[in-house]
Structure 1
Amino acid sequence: MAIEARHGGAADALPLVLLPGTLCDSRIWLAHVAALSRQREVIVPQIGLEVSLSGEASRLLAMLPRRFALGGFSLGAILAFELVRQARQRVAGLCIVSSTARADAPRNLTLRRLQLERFEAGEVQALMEQEMLPGYFHPGADAESRQRWSERVLTMARETPAAVFRNQVRYAISRPDSMSTLAAMQVPVQVQCGQNDQLCPPQRQAEMVFVRSGCSLVRVPDCGHFLPIEAERSSIISMEKWLDCVCNGIPEQAA
């Protein structure tokens, strides 16, 4: 399925495209789709169907509206940068959530390949519980919340085909540095960052505001990497403010 979620708002409103992260699908954006689709069409595509990052961006651009606001979580933001490189004029604004504009660190290569091997061997549950989930959420979150978030993330991972995860790993490994792409953008850009993100250091996220004049940084306290589900309301409110700037052509003010 190429488009996982498509919910309509006003026909003449600028559409919003939200890209999921690694081992995620439209369920990572459930609250955002429910809230933001009251005003505009919100589209959540499936990602990971093409072998290369550039090929995946081209596939999405062939099916997306002529012009749209674009948000991406983690790997979704990395893919979003590639959409901007290929069709800058179609992207009216960019919201980067829990991600970075930097290329992947070489030290991550072996770890990513080992994780892929375990996933393809059918060790999905063990891989998630032993290696991935421990770094996903704010360590101080209450047990009930962590359990609820973990169940949603585990369900998405278990339902991800191995071929899709393999492609997503390729995107992460091969991604180019996107700092120059970000610096050249002339549309409103927002960075949403969990202050306790263990996977993408907050300082690596904050650096993006220094290369793009008018880029705003939203720091979310007591929040880890999975900001779209850990801090749904805060993320949605910030995204609504960003969308107002996008639709009115007003640069965001850096926080």
Structure 2
Amino acid sequence: MIEVKNLACGYGDTVILQDISFAVHEREVLFVIGGSGCGKSTLLRCLIGLLKPLRGDVSYFGKSFTAADATQRREILKTFGVLYQNNALWSSMTLAENVALPLEEHTSLTREYRQEIVALKMTQVGLAGSEEQYPSELSGGMKKRAALARALALDPAIVFFDEPSTGLDPITLREMDRLILQVRDTFGTTMVIVSHQLSSVYRLADRVIVLDREAKGIIAEGVPAELAATSTDARVRGFLNLEADLTRRHEPGPPSPAK
């Protein structure tokens, strides 16, 4: 589905990532994880075309996205959707108008047909009947669902998520995780998720790639539970075992002896 070869990303003369190579397979849920400043969001920007790579190549379905001309890039863009960290919903538009934007931009469908698709997508994310509401009227979880409906508007083969847990309480986060798996299982969608939320990693990920700031690249790749248990890299074990450590710290201890 996606192939990344010898990718280098950065800003001006500053190189954030170098010699990145990995592939994403059909129906896979791949997480990009790592500590703060390791380049997770920078990598995502390169993958979706918001940042031009310094070197290397990103390909979709065997076609180079990096070297594509404007017409070819437009066609490739139709194959994936993006759920941005802060949702990126237009505050002056209703949810229906927000979800309809990709359809207006990339298709010649009639207004009536676009409305039918919008209603379907809103139903798929559990927001049926909320089409005329504005983003300011929604909770954080509902905004995430609306942003996902927009990302799914063109029935993309791939959906990218940038920190989907941002602003969500633990219960809403679990609901969002269930929705992500439901979309994958129902439509066979491939997911690439940038996240620091380890609970979601263990619930959802088929595989992770671990980035490191000092290495400026990938220091581990594999199934998260296996890496946590067997990795010879202390940075990888430390990061993937962090949630278990935090859970143990917050578990109630033995009762105090009676006085």
Same fold (TM over 0.5): no
> Higher Cα Rg: structure 1 or 2?
2
More strand by share: 2
Please give the TM-score of this superposition, normalised by the length of structure 1: 0.24
